[in-house]
Amino acid sequence: MEQRTMTPARCPALLITAPASGQGKTTLTAALARLHARQGRRVQVFKCGPDYLDPHWHQLASGAPVHSLDLWMTGEADARARLHAAALSADLILIEGVMGLYDGSPSAADLARRFGIPVLAVIDAGGMAATLGAVAYGLQHFQPGLRWAGVLANRVASARHAQLLQAGVHADSHWLGAVQRIAADAGTALLPQRHLGLVAAQELADGMQRLDSAADALEATALGQRSWQDWQQWTVEFAPPAPAAEAGQPEALGPWLDGRVVAVARDAAFSFVYPANLECLRAMGAQLRFFSPLAGERLPACDALWLPGGYPELHAAQLAAQGAVQADIRAHWEAGRAIWAECGGMLALCEGIAGSDGQWTPLWGLMPGRAQMQKRLAGLGMQQLSTPWGLLRGHSFHYARLESGAQVLGRSRRPDADAGAESGEWLYRHGSLHASFFHAWFASHPRAVAALLGARQALDDHREDT
């Protein structure tokens, strides 16, 4: 990221949180971004923790790319640099929390305290009256040092219901209004879900209309009616990032991908891509070429291929029918060129996949192994993966299981697990292919990523270091 100034930058900011997942914080964060964007303000939205799907809605609402912030996975130095840069260019910063306010270590509350960001609590008020005030009070005071903005009741049944809710909220918890239930139409959720999370915004033709409906509902609340002058009460002063040598970054960037072309699959089947990972590849010198296997686009001429995660299980038959793409990828592999396949990208390369209903669909057959979808999560949470070139940070989130005879190079583990307690995702190798259910945050160890993508210089540098 370009470092534009070494002076602090000031900007109104909110971290939107909740007592738990499913309270509506994604919808209301996007609604708030849309409300201010259509009033002509430049809004920068961030997502706390690992997430590929919610940011699609925030980007549609704000018109700007959305990055993740996490004190462990992305690191404090990265978060500080991104927040400082956003404060220089945006009128408003919004950060959607993850799970509940205090869930995880580090939590959304830890992030808010670290940077002095005011916290807005969204609480699903269904089946609740004055107890909402107790929940808000608990969130506000459970741990000291939190800068509190207020509470917004969500999914409220009526004006009378809103009055009962407001009566239970302590004055210092700052009632900011009530949002009634919003639906796209009768019986249909405004932002629909499926396994792994929300349906991505680009998959719904009326995505912007849905956001406008949510923004309209939010505009009727005390929060939505708040003057821009009053928003300045939530201004945060963001310190400039430290020089790279002092930032405590896990691994400095190097020119390990200079002159190399990396092909990246990108469509509805391969959509789990952090913009920051693309930034990292470009910063190492890579030239990126995108293509859509679903659309039958041929593999571009390249030195390495990245198959990100996504939803190959929803498009298995269409992927299996793309014989030319399959042949291109096999020829790439047979030539000894590198492939890095994450989660869904790995499944697409397997012999086939069985749905949770048992229906079998053959896939590309490059990697030995058969995948099985299940109705319960098979992997979830932050992970760190030891590779032959260094330790990568990232996460896991999938409903599939894989039985494979491919060579195993290692296994990921939770951040808080002992070094020998490997209990996460396998790292497989099959010729020039490396694959795992593990989703990597590339900047945590760029050289390891470059090596996974076959960069000779990264491999040579590693041998010199060891």
Q: Which are the catalytic amino acids?
A: 343
| Spatial contact of 138 and 102, defined as CB atoms under 8 Å apart | no
In the chain, the amino acid numbered 208 is: M
Report the candidate in 310, 295, 264 with the shortest Cα–Cα distance to residue 53: 310
Q: What is the crossing angle of helices 131-141 and 159-167, to 10°? A: 50
- Give dist(CA 125, CA 299) in Å, integer: 50
Cα–Cα distance for residue pair 152/174, rounded to 1 Å: 9
Identity at 406, one-letter amino acid code: A
Cα-based distances in Å from 419 to 250, 378, 382: 17, 22, 15
The span from the CA of 50 to the CA of 80, in Å, is: 17
The residue written with tokens 């048992």 in the block is: 358
Dihedral over Cα of 39, 86, 15, 52: its sign: positive
Rounded CA-CA distance 270/339 in Å is 14
> Two tokens at 305?
């291929």
Task: Please report where in the chains the tokens 């949770």 appear, as a residue.
Answer: 356
Q: Is 103 exposed, middle or buried (0-12, 13-18, 19+ CB in 10 A)?
A: middle
Per the CB < 8 A criterion, the answer to whether 359 and 313 are in contact is no
Q: Which amino acid does the sequence have at 220?
A: A
Instruction: Locate 463 and state its tokens.
Output: 């041998």
Please state, in angstroms and rounded to a whole number, the distance separating the CA atoms of residues 88 and 2: 12
Q: Which amino acid, residue 429?
A: R
Rounded Cα distance, 291 and 298, in Å: 7
